[in-house]
Every structure is written in structure tokens, then in C-alpha cells.
Amino acid sequence: MKSIMFVCLGNICRSPIAEGCAKKLAKEKSLDIVIASSGTSSWHVGEAPCANSIKVCKSHNVDIANYQASQISEQDILEYDLLIALDENNFNDLKDLGAKKVVKLGMYGYNSADVPDPYFFNGFEGFEKVFGMIEECVWNLFEKEF
């Protein structure tokens, strides 16, 4: 497997965190993998990640400040070796778009739980929880797949 893409709804909260964690881990493990993220919606295309995602990543030495949101394309669906959905809605949307190789991030250590959408959270605390969950699942994903 050479390329993976993390997919959430807006590509501004959860999947950029996953992309950042995965890129950091790939670097630490000297793995040559293409790692990206996108959203199923077009709502935030071109925007930077949300402030709390940038902040929580920064506090864990993960720099996502320069990421720009994109919407998943048909080409992405064909080209990436594995699409990793952050929640069940994202998973179902990817299946509806015809994606074949799709998993849920929560399969890797959280009994397939959804990574909760922090966009509507009040305050910062939820982002720490979401970061912890994503970081652990990404770590387990690398152990299993690479």
C-alpha cells in the first residue's frame, strides 16, 4: 500500500488531524507513503483547519496550520489505495460514491466507533479527546497496514 486518504465531512476538523498524525508517524518510521485528507462536502474548500484542530495538533508537535481543505474527487476515489472514513456517515457516503477500499478509522482499536465531530463542540476539551482517539487509531493502523 502506497497511498492513504483520511476523509471526514468538512476536512477542517478531524481528517486534517489524522493526516498530520499520520505524516508525523510516517516520518518517524521512515515510511514512503502518500498521505492526504479530504471532505465529502465542498463547504470549506480552500480553508485552513479550524483553530482548535491547529491548536491541539501544535500542542502535540503536529503542524497542520498550512493545510487547505479539499473535497474528495472521483480521481481520489480511483487512485488512493485506502480511504479511511472518520465516521459512519463518511463511510457510507464514500461507498455511495463507488469507493471500494474504505475502512473506518475507529476499526483500529475503538471497536469501529465514530470519531465524534468536534465542529459543534463547545470549547477545547473535546478536541483533546478527539486528538487522542485519532492518534491511537492512526498508530494502530500503521502497525497493521505498513
Contact positions vs ligand 4NP (CB under 6 A):
8-14, 39, 43-44, 117, 119
Q: Which one from 57, 93, 117, 137 is the annotated catalytic residue?
A: 117
Closest distance of CB 63 from ligand 4NP, Å? 18
Distance CA 68, CA 31 (A): 23
Closest distance of CB 35 from ligand 4NP, Å? 17
Q: Phi, psi (5° rounding) for residue 113?
A: -65, 150
Residue 31 or 39: the one with the smaller Cβ distance to ligand 4NP is 39
Of all helices (H) and strands (E), which one includes residue 1? none
Residue 117 or 135: the one with the smaller Cβ distance to ligand 4NP is 117
Closest distance of CB 44 from ligand 4NP, Å? 6
Is residue 14 annotated as part of the catalytic site, yes or no? yes
Q: Which triple of cell numbers denotes residue 119?
A: 465542529
Which residue minimizes CB distance to ligand 4NP?
Answer: 10
Is residue 8 annotated as part of the catalytic site, yes or no? yes
Distance CA 132, CA 49 (A): 17
Distance CA 29, CA 135 (A): 15
Distance CA 114, CA 48 (A): 23
* Residues annotated catalytic, as ranges: 8, 14, 117
